[in-house]
Amino acid sequence: MNVRADQDDRTEEVPVLIVGGSLVGLSTSLFLGRLGVRHTLVERHSGTSIHPRGRGNNVRTMELFRVAGVEPGIHEAAATLADNHGILQTPTLVGDAGEWLFKEIDPGNRLARFSPTTWCLCSQNDLEPVLLQHAAKLGGDLRYHTELMSFEADGDGVTAVVKSRDTGEHSTIRADYLVAADGPRSPVREQLGIGQSGPGELFHNISITFRSRRLADVVGDRRFIVCYLTNPDADGALLPVDNRENWVFHAPWHPEHGETTEEFTDERCAEHIRRAVGDMDIDVEITGKAPWHAAQRVARSYRSGRILLAGDSVHEMSPTGAFGSNTGIQDAHNLAWKLAAVLGGWGGDGLLDSYEAERRPVAEETSARAADRSAEHSHPGFAPPPGAGAAPKRGLLNVSLGYRYPQGAVVGTDPATPVVPEDLTLAGEPGTRAPHQWVRHEGERVSTLDLYERSLVLLSDADGHDGWHTAAIRLAEEMTVPLVSYRVGTGPGCELTPEDGSDWRDIHGTAHGGAVLVRPDGFVAWRSPGPVEDAESTLRQVLTTVLALG
C-alpha cells in the first residue's frame, strides 16, 4: 500500500492507531485508555457485532476486565445466560439420551482458590457494547464505518490514510505505533508479507440464528452452554441465546466438496435443525445465516517495526473452548502496558520484542489444544487428520490460566519450561500469572491481582526487612519508573495485610526477607527468595533487564 508521506496541517497525530474494532481492538482501546495512552481506533463496519458468537470469557480474561472496571457491566449484559454451565453431547434432545461432557464450569467453586473471579458466558454481540462504552468514557477516539485505505511505516512511526464510509472523506493519521486487530484475513499482515504456520483450515460451518418457542419445551431444564447433536444425518451444535425462543445452530458446511452457501436455504436449515433436535414438529423461523471457517494458524511474526499485530490477525484456532477470543484479549493486555512503557519513556524499544516472545508460544500451544478439544467434543464438520494420535489432555485451567512466559520481559526463568504446564501451579514463579491472595489495603478487601495494572508492583516481607521497600522507592524516582512498593505483613508499617492468617511468603514462593516483582499485566517478572546484600543494585539491574533499558 502506497501512501502520501508528506505531512501537512490536516494530518492528525496520535501515539497509537488501532485498526479493527471488534473484541480485540476494543480491548486494546480499553486497556490503553486505562493506562492514559491516547489512541484512535478505526473499524470498517458501522457498529459492534450483531451476531451471537464468541461467548465464553475465561477466568483470565475476566480477571483483566475486573481490574479494568468493566466486570459488573459484563455480568449485567450476560444475565440471561448466567445459569447456563454445561456442555451436552447427544444424538437427540428428545428424552434423556446423551451425556454431559461436563455439567458445571466450576464444580465445587474450586476456582476461588486461584482467582477473585470466574468464567462468564457473554456473547460477543453483548460484550462489545460494554467495552465500547467504557473505552469511549476513557477518551478513546473510536471511529466506526471508517476504513484503513493505506499505510506506510518508517523508523519513527506509521502514516495511514483512512476513509469515512459515511462521507467518503479521506484523512491522514500519523501514529507512533499501529496495532492491527483486523481479523484472520488481516490486510495489514498481508501487506507486511508476514506468513503463517500451522495445519491451516480445519472445518467449515454455517451459523444459523433462528426462533423457536417449542424448542424450549424439548430442551426442558437442561441449561447448557452448547449441545453437540450427533445424529449422523443431521449433526450440529445448538446454542441458546435466551433459553426461550432465540437460538443459534452451527451446521457443518463442506465447500471442499463443492457445497455452496446458497444451498443452505431456509427450508433446508429448518429441516436440518428439526432432524438434529429429534422433533420434526418444532417451529423454526430462520433469522440469519453466516458462514465461518475454523483454522489452526499462527503468524510467523507479531511485529514489523512500528506495527504490531494482535488477535485473529496473528492466530486462528478452533472455536471449541472459546480460546481464540480470550487469547486475543490477553494479547491486547500484554501489549498495552508495553506500549505505555515505551511511549512513556520508562521502557526501551526491546520491550516490544518481548510481546512476540511471550504471546506467540502461547498461541501455538492454545491453538493445538483448541483443535484437540474439537475432536473430544465431536464438533460438527471436524475430522482429525488421518493417523493423528491422541493428544495429551491438559486441563482447561492449565491452558487458560496456567500458561507461562519462559522467555520475554522476565528474569530468572528457565527457557526450556513448557508454556502450558502439566499441572496448574501459580506460586509466584517468574513468568507465571502472579498468585491471587485476599488482603486488606487501606481498609478495603482486595485481591492482590487488583493491584496490578498501572505500574510495576514490588511485594516484600515486612518482618524487619525494609531493604527492598526502600530500594523500590528510591529507584522509582531515580529511574522515573512507575513502581509501587507494598510491604506485606501484620505490623503497623505494612501496606498489605493478608486475610485469614494466610502466609503471603508461602503463596508467593519466598522466605523471610524475600520480594516479588509483578508487571502491570499481573505476571511475575522476578522473585528473590530472601534478602540480598545490596537490594538497590539488584533491583536496578532487574528493572533494567525487564524493561529493556540497557
- pTM of structure: 0.93
Segment holding 287, helix H or strand E = strand 285-299
Least confident of 45-49, 311-315, 411-415: 45-49
Say whether both 164 and 75 belong to one domain.
Answer: yes
Say whether both 393 and 535 belong to one domain.
Answer: no
pLDDT class of 464 with cuts at 50, 70, 90: low
Of 225, 160, 157, nearest to 187 by C-alpha is: 160
In degrees rounded to 5, what are phi and psi of residue 89? Answer: -125, 120
Domain boundary (248, 278, 295) is at 295
Within a domain: 50: yes
What's the CA gap between 533 and 538, in Å, rounded? 9
Domain boundary (276, 295, 314) is at 295
Within a domain: 284: yes
| pLDDT tens, position by position, 252-279 | 999 999 999 999 999 999 999 999 999 9
Domain boundary (236, 266, 295) is at 295
Say whether both 282 and 326 belong to one domain.
Answer: no
Say whether both 500 and 380 belong to one domain.
Answer: no
Say whether both 36 and 135 belong to one domain.
Answer: yes
Say whether both 286 and 317 belong to one domain.
Answer: no
Question: Would you say 28 and 335 are in contact if contact means Cβ atoms under 8 Å apart?
Answer: yes
Within a domain: 381: yes
Within a domain: 29: yes
Within a domain: 285: yes
- Of 191 and 9, which is predicted with more confidence? 191
Based on the structure, what is the number of domains in the chain? 3
Q: Report the pLDDT averaged over residues 14-34.
A: 98
| pLDDT tens, position by position, 335-355 | 999 999 999 999 999 999 999
Question: Would you say 57 and 216 are in contact if contact means Cβ atoms under 8 Å apart?
Answer: no
Q: For the domain that residue 468 is a member of, what is the CATH number? A: 3.40.30.120
Say whether both 314 and 347 belong to one domain.
Answer: yes
> Considering just the CA atoms, what is the radius of gyration of the chain in Å?
24
Say whether both 76 and 60 belong to one domain.
Answer: yes
Say whether both 227 and 376 belong to one domain.
Answer: no
pLDDT class of 493 with cuts at 50, 70, 90: confident
Say whether both 29 and 153 belong to one domain.
Answer: yes
Q: Is 99 helix (H, G, I), strand (E, B) or coil?
A: strand
What is the predicted pLDDT for the residue at 393? 55
Residue with the three cell numbers 467495552: 131
Q: Would you say residue 75 has pLDDT above 60?
A: yes
Segment holding 153, helix H or strand E = strand 146-154
Q: Would you say residue 180 has pLDDT above 80?
A: yes
| pLDDT tens, position by position, 293-313 | 888 999 999 999 999 999 999
Residue with the three cell numbers 447456563: 84
Phi-psi region at 543: left, alpha or beta (left = phi > 0; alpha = psi -120 to 50): alpha
Q: Would you say residue 6 has pLDDT above 60?
A: no
The cell for 187 is 490486510
Domain span including residue 254 = 198-295
Q: Report the pLDDT averaged over residues 176-198.
A: 96
Say whether both 229 and 264 belong to one domain.
Answer: yes
Within a domain: 305: yes
Q: Report the pLDDT averaged over residues 23-31.
A: 98
Of 385, 18, 49, nearest to 207 by C-alpha is: 49
The cell for 407 is 522467555
Cβ-Cβ contacts under 8 Å for 117 (sequence gap 6 or more): 59, 62, 63, 66, 71
Q: For the domain that residue 336 is a member of, what is the CATH number? A: 3.50.50.60
Within a domain: 90: no
Within a domain: 221: yes
What is the predicted pLDDT for the residue at 139? 96
The cell for 118 is 470466574
Q: For the domain that residue 230 is a member of, what is the CATH number? A: 3.30.9.10
Say whether both 269 and 337 belong to one domain.
Answer: no
Cβ-Cβ contacts under 8 Å for 330 (sequence gap 6 or more): 60, 61, 64, 359, 362
Q: Report the pLDDT averaged over residues 321-339.
A: 94
